[in-house]
Structure 1
Amino acid sequence: MALKHEPTVPYHSAQDALRVLETVARHPAGVTVTGIARRTGLRAERLTGLLRMLRREGYVDQGSDGAYVTGAALARLGSAHRHDEALREQLQRTLDRLRDSVGAAVYISRYVDGEVRVTQYAAGPATPAVNEWVDFRFSAHATAVGKSLLGQLDHNGRRDHLARHKMARLTSRTITSDKVLLSRLEAQPPTVPVLDLQEYAIGTVCAAVPITAGSAVGCLALSLPVEHAHRLRQAADTLNRNAAPVLLSLAL
């Protein structure tokens, strides 16, 4: 299955953050901002934002002398022992922060072996998760998550998926024509969030942005009660701007 990847803003941020981390890791005694800037070629403003994110995520620490060293989170992920557990915990902390910053339930989803899988999410009393009344594996045509993942496949990959999963009408807004859906997926710019406006469930709106690490297809999504629909696009933009830590964790 071929993929249709186009680098997004979070992808570029994650790549720059990796360069910073590699530089810090090569200096066990610590390296200054000036040293990092010289070795990575990143502008001061860009570097300041990346270092703030890396400190927040626990990937770097700053000593009393101002120099940066690797942090505990990087050590945990760098260890072969219990790596999967460490990654899951790191992603959960990031998702919890994202949930609080966007004021919505947030989800990580992957396309694995031809199926949509929601692998982790963060919700709460004020940010309820979507009620999965129809299995997400069988409703990709109706969800922001599914459409984002399908949008990252090539045309044949999309057709293969739709051939295996009937496009059932879940609400009056659900697209049930494969021709219409394929046309919309083709026209969807990779940098613009995919929306679900009560196509999966009445009373819920969703948005998803791609998080592509290597050859894996993934997305980050959020859901809101329909009474908060006016916040959807702004929340989706915030989600997109803050997706880099998720990509970085998956790349390490």
Structure 2
Amino acid sequence: MDQKYNVPALDRANAVLKMLSEQPYTWKLSDLSKQLDISKSTLFSLLQTLERLQWISRDRHETYAIGSALGQLGGAFFRQFNLTEDFKRLAEPVMLKLKESVQLAMLEGGDVLYLAKVAASSPVQMVSGPGVRFPAHATGLGKALMSNLGEEEIRQLFPQELLPKLTMHSIGTREALLQEIRQANENGYATDIQEGVMGFCCVAAPIRRPDGTLLAAVSCSMPIHHWEGKKEDATREIIALARRLSPGI
């Protein structure tokens, strides 16, 4: 990611939080200042702010540890992965109906991070299991996941106009990507026609929270020779699956 958009105060806060997570109630202000090479005056203001936000806590010995607010945020992070269990249960009948693999993923920076997969019994499979990352601009999942981002957010994710082409069909420019994302937002789904992997196509739809923001996305991928015969059914099934997985919708 382009370093020119970095916020130094957040980098310093992140360094403090990492130290406190590894050794709680060990470090005082002066110790942290030496270890992190941050001036005491700057660090004092930072620690005061973090304590006010309950991101850190301080004991009677003036040492610090991670605070309750971060515990709540961390809980929210892990709760979202309850989604994977619902996905496996609800995606199974979709896979059996389409006889094609179904994936669940989230956006992490400029990449798609695959969370779960219900694989069809096809001998030919995309590499898209849990933990695999893939450039978001080259996938239907990525376009679906970016469909409610503003143009400035997308420009920050992709600061260069030219985008790396994974295949001859990959989107090659940021402007073309913006157009595809606008179309995905309008349609409620996105497609990838051999853009990420030659010989494979997919259709993807976003999973939304009650407030309309995106939580994750689901997709169905298949070999290109299945696409024309199955794309309408796959689009309908994936949109319906995304809606069923959207909490409170």
TM range (shorter): 0.5 to 0.7
1:56-113 Cα shifts (integer Å, max 9, x gaps): xxxxxxxxxxxxxxxxxxxxxxxxxx97776533321112222112321111111246
TM-score normalised according to structure 2 size: 0.58
Aligned to 2:155: 159
* TM-score of the superposed pair, with normalisation by structure 1: 0.57
1:233 aligns with: 232
1:220 aligned residue: 218
**Equivalent position of 1:193 in the other structure:** 189
Q: 1:190–1:210: 8 Å Cα contact kept in structure 2? A: no
Letter in 2 for 1:224: M
* 1:125 counterpart SS class: coil
Question: SS of the residue aligned with 1:108?
Answer: strand
Q: Which residue of 2 aligns with 1:244?
A: 243
What is the alpha-carbon distance in structure 1 between the residues aligned to residue 134 and residue 162 of structure 2? 8
Secondary structure at 2:121 match in 1: coil
Q: What is the CA–CA distance in structure 1 between the aligned matches of 2:239 and 2:203, rounded to whole Å?
A: 10
Partner of 1:169: 165
Distance in 2 (CA, whole Å) between partners of 1:158 and 1:225 is 29
1:136–1:165 distance in 2 versus 1, CA, 3 Å: farther
Q: Which amino acid aligns with 1:90?
A: D
Deviation at 1:136, TM superposition (A): 6.4
**Amino acid corresponding to residue 238 of structure 1 in structure 2:** E
Structure 2 CA distance, aligned partners of 1:127 and 1:193? 27
Does 1:108 find its partner at 2:107? no
Unaligned runs of 5+ in 2: 1-77
Correspondent of 2:84 among 84, 88, 95: 88
Equivalent residue of 1:163, what SS?
Answer: coil
Q: 2 CA distance for matches of 1:85 and 1:220?
A: 14
Relative to structure 1, is the Cα distance of residues 240 and 84 closer, same or farther in structure 2, using a 3 angstrom cutoff? closer
For residue 159 of structure 2, give the secondary structure of its aligned residue in structure 1: helix
Task: Report the number of matched residues.
Answer: 168
User: 1:181 and 1:212 mapped to 2: Cα distance?
Assistant: 21
Helix, strand or coil for the counterpart of 1:188?
helix
**What percentage of residue pairs aligned between the two structures are identical?**
22
Mapped contact 1:145–1:219 kept (Cα < 8 A): yes
**1:138 Cα offset (Å):** 4.9
Identify the residue that residue 207 of structure 2 maps to in structure 1.
Answer: 211
For 1:146 and 1:87, locate their aligned partners in 2 and report how far apart those are by CA, in whole Å. Answer: 18
Q: Tell me, yes or no, if the aligned pair for 1:149 and 1:218 is still in contact at 8 Å.
A: yes
**Counterpart for residue 123 of structure 1:** 119
Which protein has greater RCO, CA pairs closer than 8 Å, 6+ apart? 1
Letter aligned with residue 144 of structure 1: G
Q: Residues of 1 paired with 2:132 and 2:83: CA distance?
A: 23
Q: 1:181 to 1:86 in 2, by over 3 A?
A: closer
Q: Distance in 2 between the 1:232 and 1:239 partners?
A: 10
- The gaps in structure 1 that reach 5 residues or longer are 1-81
Runs of 4+ in 1 over 6 A off after TM superposition: 82-85
Secondary structure of the residue that 1:242 maps to in structure 2?
helix
1:57 matched residue in structure 2: none
1:103–1:127 contact (8 Å) kept in structure 2: no
Query: Letter of the aligned partner of 1:208 in structure 2?
Result: A
- Alignment equivalent of 1:184, drawn from 170, 180, 187: 180
Pairwise CA RMSD: 3.1
More deviation, 186-195/145-154: 186-195
Q: 2:181 aligns to what SS in structure 1?
A: helix
Which has the higher Rg, Structure 1 or Structure 2? 2
